[in-house]
Amino acid sequence: MYKSLSLSFMPCKAMLQPRARITRQDSENFVDYRTKVARNPTMERLQRNYLFPEISAREAEHMEKYPNAKVISLGIGDTTQPLPDVVASSMANYAHNLSTRTGYRGYGAEQGCKELRKAIAETFYKDMGIQGKEVFVSDGAQCDISRLQAYVDSSVIIGQTGDVENESGRYRNIEYMKCGPHNSFFPNLSKAARTDIIFFCSPNNPTGHAASREQLERLVGFAQENGSIIVYDSAYAFYITDGSPRSIYEIPGAEKVAIEVSSFSKIAGFTGVRLGWTVVPEQLLYANGFPVINDFNRIVCTCFNGASRIAQAGGLASLSKHGYKAVISLVDYYKENAEILLETFESLGLRTYGGVNAPYLWVHFPGSNSWDVFNEILEKTHIITVPGSGFGPAGKEFIRVTAFGHRENILEASKRLRSLL
Amino acid sequence: MYKSLSLSFMPCKAMLQPRARITRQDSENFVDYRTKVARNPTMERLQRNYLFPEISAREAEHMEKYPNAKVISLGIGDTTQPLPDVVASSMANYAHNLSTRTGYRGYGAEQGCKELRKAIAETFYKDMGIQGKEVFVSDGAQCDISRLQAYVDSSVIIGQTGDVENESGRYRNIEYMKCGPHNSFFPNLSKAARTDIIFFCSPNNPTGHAASREQLERLVGFAQENGSIIVYDSAYAFYITDGSPRSIYEIPGAEKVAIEVSSFSKIAGFTGVRLGWTVVPEQLLYANGFPVINDFNRIVCTCFNGASRIAQAGGLASLSKHGYKAVISLVDYYKENAEILLETFESLGLRTYGGVNAPYLWVHFPGSNSWDVFNEILEKTHIITVPGSGFGPAGKEFIRVTAFGHRENILEASKRLRSLL
C-alpha cells in the first residue's frame, strides 16, 4: 500500500534528524554576510523530491505551448463544490457575532470546543466506545500528523513511501513495506519487523484502496502482538460504502493500540477552512501503564492554541441533522465523479484500483513509465494527472487521478480520455 | 528578561529529545493491556510544571469557599473586546461566499494569500525592506514557534525561562540568561556564550518591558559577531508607543540575522480566530550561503496547509484603512486599562514594570513569595493574578497582571486593590 502520509510526513521526519555540526568559519570570505548556522543537511536531500511543484512546472510549460487549451486538472485532490448553506451560514453568523459583546470569544480550549468533540464522537464513532474527551480538534490532519511526528521522533513506520530518502537509505529506523495489487494493497505482516509506531492510511491515498475488515483485524492483531501503536489516517473514510470499516475502532481491541487522525477537508469541503481531529483513546497505554492521551493533551496544549473558532462552528453545523445530509450529498457527488472516471478508464481496457470507496483512482499502465504516461495524457488531452512514481518506485506503472472537480469538467475529461482510443 | 517563549516553547523542545529505549517486556503481567512503547521520559518531568492549570485549580478552590464572590481575572492574557465591524463582516462575507460556486475556495497557498502577505509587509515593515514574499502567514505565533522549534532541534537559546527543566539541568545545550530590573531587562552579552539561535521577545511577556533601540542594536551586533540567528517574538509590538522599535528590522543589518514571529491575536483580538505570521528575510543565509527562507518555505509547505481562509480575510480587513483605525482603537482601549492598573499599583507604593508599551504589568513585592502574594490578593480582593515564579525563579518576588478586560472590571479591580491599603 502506498502511504498517503509519505508526502506530508517524510520531510518533517527529516527535519527532526540531528544536524551535523559543520563548523565552517569561512563566512567572512564571502561578499554576502552569512550566519555561522549550518544548514540541516537532510533538507538538501529533500529538495530533490518535490512532486507537485514538478507537475505545476510541466503544466506551465504545456500552457505556454498551447495557450488556448482548456486544461483540466485531475491532479492535486482539492475539493471544488460550494459548502452547504447551513454550514456557511453558521460560520458567517459566528464571525458576525464576534463583533458583539455577547458573541465575542477569545482563546478557546486547545482541544476544541466540547460540543464539537462530542458531535464528532457521536457521528463517526457511534457504538465504538469513543467519547468526546478522547477527540482532539485540529486545524487539519496534516498539522496533527506533524505534531504526532514531532513526538514520535524515533518512530519506525510501516508503509511504502518510495521517497528519495528511501532509495538513498536515509531513514535507517523506518521499515518500508511494498504494497500493491499483488498483495491486495496490504503488507505481508509475517515478514514485518516490530516497530513502535505503524502509520496506516485507509482509504489509501494514492491508490484509493480501502482496507477490508479482515485486513484491519490482522493489522490490529499485529500491533497487539508487538505492542506497537497504530497511527490510522482515515481522512477519506466517509467515502467508504462497501461495508469496509470506516474507523480502526470498528475492530475490537483497536482502542488499546491505535490513534486515529481524520479531517473535515474531504468530508465537508473544508480544505480552505481547515478543521480536523485526532482520537486518542484513554485505554491506549505506554509500556509503563501511563495513558498516551495525557501526553497528547499536553502536547496539544503546549504547541497549539486550538482550531479557529469559526471553523469549529462550521464543523459543528456540518454534523447537525441538516448539515450532515448536505455533507453526504457532497460526498456522493464526488463519488459519482469517481464512477464516471472509473468507467472511462475501464472502457479503455485499463486495470483500475480505488474509485469505489475513495475519491482517487489508481490506473495501471503495464510496462510503462508513469511520467511518460503523464506527458502523453497531457499532450493529447490537456488533462493533468499525477504520475505514480511520485509516490514511490512501486508506482512507476501507475497514474493517480482525483475525482474532485465540477461535473462538467469530469465529463469533458472522460470524453477526451475516451478519444485516446 | 523573562522569556515569553518559555511556556510555549520548552515542552516542544522536550518532546524532541531522543527517547530512552526502555525494553520492558513485562506488559503481560498487568491486568490492563499496555503497548510496549516507552513513554518519553522528558514528558514525565514536564508534568511537574504547569502554571495556568495550577492557577485554575486555586481559582476553583476559592470559588468553592466564596460562592458569591465576583472573581475578576487579571491572569491569562486573553482579549475581551468585540472585533471591529469591518473585520467581522469581512469574515462573515467570506464564509457566506464559500457556499456559492464563484466564492468557493479549496486549499490556499500554504504561505498565505498574496494580498495578506503584501499588506502585512506594508503595514508592519514599511521602509524596512521586507517584502510580501518574505512573510509567511500562520495560524498563530505559538504554532509557528513550534514549527521553528521542530527545525532548530539542536538550537541553543538565550533567555531566562526558569522552567523546572532549567533547575534540573535538563537542557544542557540551552543558555539561560537572567534578566530583570537590575540589568534593564537585557542580558549581559559580554558574558553570553555563542549559540546558533537566540530567542528574544519584545515587548516581553511577562515583564511588559519593550527593548530599547540601543538594546536591540547590541543584540543584532552580538548575533552578527557570533553568526547566530535571532528568533524575535514581536506579538505585542503594536502596543509600543514610546518610540522603541516595533520590529527587529528597524535595526540596520537585522535582515541578515533575524527571523520575526508575530500575531494578529493581541493586535486585532484574533485569539479565537487564529492568525499570525513569520518573517524570514531573503538575506538571511546559512553558513554555506543557502537562504534560510527556502528551507522555511519547504517546512511550511510540508507541515502546514495554510491558515483558515476565513481568518485570512479577517486579517486583510483589519489592515484596510477602516480596519486599521478600528484596530488601533482596540489597542488603545487595552493600553488605557494598563494605565489604570499601573496607577493603582503605584498608588499602593509598589514598583511596577511594563504597562506602558505592553498589555502586561510586572509588579514587585520585595522580599515576598509570589504564590503568597497571589493567594493574599485572591483572598482579599477576589482577583486572579499570575505569580511571577511560574515564569522562573527570578520572578519569585513579582506578580504579572494583564490589562486585557472589560473597562468596568478593570475599574472594579482597581478599586478593590486600592482598598488593600
| pLDDT tens-digit readout, B260-270 | 999 999 999 99
Whether residue A212 has pLDDT greater than 80: yes
Same domain assignment for residues B117 and B136: yes
CA distance A310 to B274: 10
Q: What is the pLDDT of residue B165?
A: 45
A–B interface: beta-carbon pairs under 8 A: 327
Range ranked top by mean pLDDT from B6-15, B146-155, B361-370:
B361-370
CATH code at position A73: 3.90.1150.10
Q: What is the pLDDT of residue B162?
A: 33
Whether residue A250 has pLDDT greater than 50: yes
Contact A82 B100 (CB under 8 A): yes
Whether residue A324 has pLDDT greater than 70: yes
Q: What is the DSSP letter of A17?
A: S
Inside any domain, residue A86: no
Inside any domain, residue B22: no
Is A181 part of the contact surface with chain B (CB cutoff 8 Å)?
no
Query: 335-374 in B: which are within 8 Å (CB) of A?
Result: none
Contact A288 B39 (CB under 8 A): yes
Q: What is the DSSP letter of A134?
A: G
Q: What is the pLDDT of residue B325?
A: 97
Higher pLDDT, B183 or B248: B248
CA distance A150 to B57: 30
Q: What is the pLDDT of residue B332?
A: 97
Q: What is the pLDDT of residue B102?
A: 97
**For residue A234, which of A244, A226, A224, A242 has the smallest C-alpha distance?**
A244
Inside any domain, residue B13: no
Q: What percent of chain A has pLDDT over 90?
A: 69
Chain B residues with CB-CB distance to A142 below 8 A: 303-305
Which of A27, A274, A286 shows the shortest C-beta gap to B305? A274
Cell of B119: 499588506
CB-CB contact of B313 with B268 (8 Å) = no
Least confident segment among A373-377, B64-68, B304-308: B304-308
Same domain assignment for residues B64 and B135: no
Which of B7, B32, B287 shows the shortest C-beta gap to A27? B287
Cell of B214: 540601543
pLDDT digits (tens, 9 = 90+) for B220-262: 999 999 999 999 999 999 999 999 999 999 999 999 999 999 9
CB-CB contact of B253 with B280 (8 Å) = no
Whether residue A30 has pLDDT greater than 60: no
Same domain assignment for residues B254 and B135: yes
CA distance A321 to A309: 20
In whole numbers, what is the pLDDT of chain A averaged over residues?
A: 85
Same domain assignment for residues B67 and B155: no
Q: What is the pLDDT of residue B7?
A: 23
Inside any domain, residue B2: no
The average pLDDT across B91-101 equals 98
Whether residue A209 has pLDDT greater than 90: yes
Contact B150 A226 (CB under 8 A): no
Same domain assignment for residues B73 and B219: no
Same domain assignment for residues B209 and B184: yes
Q: What is the pLDDT of residue A149?
A: 58
Query: 91-110 in B: which are within 8 Å (CB) of A?
Result: 91-101, 103-108
CA distance A201 to A177: 13
CATH code at position B215: 3.40.640.10
pLDDT digits (tens, 9 = 90+) for A151-195: 443 333 333 333 334 443 444 556 777 788 889 899 889 888 888
pLDDT digits (tens, 9 = 90+) for B282-331: 999 999 999 999 988 888 887 788 999 999 999 999 999 999 999 999 99
| Min distance B144 CA to chain A CA atoms (Å) | 9
Same domain assignment for residues A405 and A346: yes
Contacts of B372 by beta carbon, 8 Å cutoff, 6+ apart: none
Q: Is A344 left (phi over 0), alpha (psi -120 to 50) or beta?
A: alpha
| Min distance B334 CA to chain A CA atoms (Å) | 14
Predicted ipTM > 0.90: no
Same domain assignment for residues B184 and B113: yes
Q: What is the pLDDT of residue A48?
A: 55
Residue of chain A minimizing CA distance to B305: A142
Cell of B306: 495554510
Whether residue A196 has pLDDT greater than 90: no
Q: What is the pLDDT of residue B200?
A: 92
Which of B33, B273, B274 shows the shortest C-beta gap to A256? B33
Pick the last residue of a domain from B298, B319, B340: B319
Q: For an interface test with A, give the residue of B4, B44, B310, B407 to mutate (most A CBs within 10 A).
A: B310
Return the beta strands (E) in A28-98 as ranges: 72-73
Whether residue A359 has pLDDT greater than 80: yes
Q: What percent of chain A has pLDDT over 70?
A: 83
Inside any domain, residue A134: yes
Cell of A165: 530518502
Inside any domain, residue B33: no
Which of A78, A100, A105 shows the shortest C-beta gap to B106? A78
Contact B274 A101 (CB under 8 A): no
**C-alpha torsion angle, residues B298, B300, B301, B305 (rounded to 10):** 180
Same domain assignment for residues A215 and A356: no
Whether residue B112 has pLDDT greater than 80: yes
Q: What is the pLDDT of residue B48?
A: 55
Q: What is the pLDDT of residue B147?
A: 63
**For residue A98, which of B397, B390, B214, B88 has the smallest C-alpha distance?**
B88
pLDDT digits (tens, 9 = 90+) for A279-322: 999 999 999 999 999 988 888 887 788 999 999 999 999 999 99
Higher pLDDT, B366 or A11: B366
pLDDT digits (tens, 9 = 90+) for A102-138: 999 999 999 999 999 999 999 999 999 999 999 999 9
Find cell 505556454 and name the residue: A64
Q: What is the pLDDT of residue A360?
A: 96
- What residues pair up with B362 in beta bridges, in sequence order? B353, B400
Contacts of B369 by beta carbon, 8 Å cutoff, 6+ apart: B389, B396, B397
Write a three-state SS string for A251-314. Answer: CCCHHHCEEEEEECHHHHCCCCCCCEEEECCCCCECCCCCEHHHHHHHHHHHHCCCCCHHHHHH
CA distance B283 to B138: 21
**For residue B266, which of B111, B134, B408, B76 has the smallest C-alpha distance?**
B76
| Min distance A240 CA to chain B CA atoms (Å) | 22
Q: What is the pLDDT of residue A245?
A: 98
Inside any domain, residue B40: no
pLDDT digits (tens, 9 = 90+) for B126-155: 999 999 999 999 998 777 776 665 444 333
Same domain assignment for residues A207 and A62: no
Q: What is the pLDDT of residue A301?
A: 82
Higher pLDDT, B19 or B331: B331
CA distance B402 to A268: 39
Same domain assignment for residues B237 and B284: yes
Inside any domain, residue B16: no
CA distance B24 to B34: 11
Write a three-state SS string for A189-207. Answer: HHHCCCCCEEEEECCCCCC
Q: What is the pLDDT of residue B28?
A: 42
Same domain assignment for residues B269 and B340: no
Cell of A270: 473544508
| Min distance A140 CA to chain B CA atoms (Å) | 8
The average pLDDT across A237-256 equals 97
Q: What is the pLDDT of residue A6?
A: 24
Chain B residues with CB-CB distance to A76 below 8 A: 107
CB-CB contact of B208 with B335 (8 Å) = no
Structural domain boundaries enclosing B245 = 85-319
How many domains would you assign to chain B? 2
The average pLDDT across A2-28 equals 31
pLDDT digits (tens, 9 = 90+) for A46-64: 655 578 889 999 999 999 9
Q: What percent of chain B has pLDDT over 90?
A: 69
CA distance A305 to A147: 13
